[in-house]
Every structure is written in C-alpha cells, then in structure tokens.
Amino acid sequence: MKFLDQAKIYVRSGDGGDGVTAFRREKYIEFGGPDGGNGGRGGDIIFEAVSNLNTLIDFRYTQHFRAKKGGNGAGSDRTGAASSAVLIQVPVGTQIMDDDRETLLADLDKVGKRIVLCRGGDGGHGNASFKSSTNRAPRRADKGWPGEERWVWLRLKLIADAGLVGLPNAGKSTFLSVVSAARPKIADYPFTTLHPQLGVVRLSMTEEFVLADIPGLIEGAHEGHGLGDRFLGHVERCAVLLHLVDGAAGDVVDAWRTIRTELDEYGGGLKDKPEIIVLNKSDAMTPQQLSGRKRALEKASGSKVMVMSGVARHGVDEVLRALYIIVAEARADRVARAEEGEEEAS
C-alpha cells in the first residue's frame, strides 16, 4: 500500500429539511387548524481515529464528502426524518487543518477520538409551530437551515515513541530492520527510504516501544533540498530522538551539526526533545578512528555518545535500553498528567 500523509478534501454537512404549510381536513371537523410539521435535521460530518489505518491513501481517490439533507415535514404534524451522519475514518495521529494549512481544527491522536467538523442544518418550522391565540391559521413555513461546508487538509503524524534521524546512508533502515520486524528497503545509495517506516521493538514480554524511521535529511532540507523536511512531522510526537551518525563517513561533527541545524530550523519542538547520539558502523572503523571520532563528537555535542554497529549488532541492546528508559519516563509522565487532569475535573 502506498504511503500518503497529506490530503485535501471537501466536506459538506446536510441542509435541514423544510417545514410545510398544511391544515387538518377531516369530515365533521369544521375548524381543523394548522398541522404542518417541521423539517428534519441534516446529516453531520464526523471524523474518527481508528487503529486499522496507517495512511491517507483512500483520500486520493475520494475527495468529496457530502451528508444528505433532512427530510421535509408533512401534514398531521409529522416531522421530517433526520439524515444520518457521514463518518470519515482516519488513522490515529491525523490532524485536520483549515484550508490555509496553518489553523489546526482537530488533532485525532487517540483511538476512538471523534470530532464533529460540520454540523447539519436544523429543520425549518412548519406552520403548526406558528399558531397562536391571535393567529389561528398561519400560512408561514420556514426553509431548513443550510449545512456547513469547507475544504480541509488532513495531515498524518505517525504515533511513535522514538524517532530515527540522520543523514542519508547513516544506517537508520538497517537498524530498524535489526531491532524490529519491519522490512524497509536497504541499499548502498542515498534516499533508499522514501516514506516513513514504523517498527515495534520488543525488549521483553512487558517492554516494547514503537520506532519511526523517516527519510534522511541533508543540508538545506528546511528549504526543500533533497526530500525536504516534510516527514519531520512524523517524529514531532516522539519522546526521544535517536540520532545516528555514520562513523565511517569521516567528518562526524559536521554530519551531526547538519542534522541539528535542520531540526532547529524546522521547529515543532524537535530541538528540545531528548537526543541519544550514536556513532554507527563501528565495524568499519579502526580503534583509533573510533576513539578519535567519538571524542570529537562528544566535545561538539556536549553529550555522551554511544557506539554501535547495526550490521554486526554490536552495542544495539545498549542503545535500545537507553531509548526505552526515556520512553518509559515519558509514558509515566503522561499518565501522571492525565490523572491530575481527572482530579481537577472532578
């Protein structure tokens, strides 16, 4: 299935049904009076986050969603039927943006979360609603209220606990394939990863987390160079970033700074996320090269640098354990905040 993380669609809720003008006409009843019923309510447009979707590809082929109009009223005080809502299912992590692509309308970040984006129009009143002591035979009936319509952008941000960042050919796809059941494309040329990939990492029966691999960044990605920084949105929700640096490529400090610059330029809170720096491809360096490049990277970043080889699987377990510690702390913090919110609400 092709991965698609952005789509523009048109939605329109249903108009309300019209009220009617009617009078009771029965034998032996001289003054029947008005009995025109009200119109029914138009259908809503509802979005729901579901767990069995992971792409917006369906919206490439279906881009217009319209709810039906409510039924018109009828005589004998009969109200028109209300139209059913149109339910649009999207992957968890989908954001609904206004047509300007800047105004956030909804963030469906949990399974089952729903939002009524466009409400259906109310039905119009029939003439029975207007009778009074001074107006015994009203001939007024209202049209139904119109529904709402708008163009919106859907933007998918994958839900992952940890995100992989780095230059092309830093070994991100290899690492993901080693630690999870994911099978991303792996080759010896840049940009083999064209779309984000997800993998579930299991350390034990009770310890697991989701790891996201995004296409590699290059200098100027925030200006659209290479594949650009479009896919960085998929690691905005991560608790920690795993920054892989190709140790065999030479200038590891420049490689690390290039990615940090792109993260800072992108924004979205990425520059403030916890970062684990890993010097990858240790099997392709001599001990002297490994020691010198690790020291230089630690001095430039001011952080501890871990060493790993995804191909030889050296140091992989230590990196996974360091990732899980931060992920577990972030999960505990979310649970604590949720409990505090419930207590305040009660």
Q: Which residues are annotated as a binding site for GTP?
A: 166-173, 191-195, 213-216, 280-283, 309-311
Written as one string, the DSSP assignment of 206-270 is S-EEEEEE-PPP-TTGGGT-TTTTGGGGGGTT-SEEEEEEEGGGS-HHHHHHHHHHHHHHH-TTG
**DSSP H/E element including 290:** helix 287-301
Strand partners, 11: 65, 150
CA angle 185, 191, 256 (to 5 degrees): 115
CA angle 92, 112, 326 (to 5 degrees): 50
The candidate with the shortest Cα–Cα distance to 46, out of 100, 119, 121, is 119
Q: Which of helix, strand or coil describes residue 189?
A: coil
Residue indicated by tokens 């009843």: 29
Contact 268, 261 (CB under 8 A): no
Feature table: binding site for Mg(2+): 173, 193
Beta strands of the chain (E only): which ranges? Answer: 6-12, 45-50, 64-66, 86-91, 94-98, 104-108, 114-118, 149-156, 162-165, 197-202, 208-213, 240-246, 275-280, 305-307
Feature table: binding site: 166-173, 191-195, 213-216, 280-283, 309-311
